[in-house]
Structure 1
Amino acid sequence: MTEVKMPGVPVTLAARIMCKGNEFVRCLLQAGRVPWGTATPPETPGGRWNYYIYPNKFEEFFGLHLMDIPEYANLWRECNETEKEG
């Protein structure tokens, strides 16, 4: 049985769902203020932060179904098609 992967929720999509800016979502993640995602600090000074928003936790927290949002559904399809090819 093939495992179906759920890609992380993009920060831009999470921000749009919350009616907030991208930086607001990043700040929440960096501060560890939300149960639905994490932020990993850069390994070197001046490096980039990495963000991951867990799709299942995000859905549960906001009471929505990400697959009902076309942008996420397309991302999901792309992720799973790439897995089949690889």
Structure 2
Amino acid sequence: MGLGAGELVLILVIAYVVVGPEDMAKLARTLAKTIRQFKKMSADLSREVGSGLQLPPVSDLTGEVRVPSASDLTGEIRIPSVREMISD
């Protein structure tokens, strides 16, 4: 969805008629300045987001993750017998 040469010429002719020849240079400068500022702000935002999301390498996380074994769970899970369930 790009802008073709014919479309660009049409836009420039319409801008020339609407703005006038005297203000066309001012409009071009203002537009260029605005585009430059937008690109700078976009680059700054990308840099900040990128630096804020620096994640530690996976190798650093392996020491923190421990998979529970069956022996870890035996003390925590107790299934009552049918007699205990009936007596309650």
* Relative contact order, higher structure (CA 8 A, sep 6+): 1
Greater Rg, structure 1 or structure 2?
Answer: 2
Question: Per residue, is there more strand in 1 or in 2?
Answer: 1
The TM-score bracket by the shorter chain reads: under 0.3
The alignment's TM-score, normalised by the length of structure 1, stands at 0.23
Question: Per residue, is there more helix in 1 or in 2?
Answer: 2
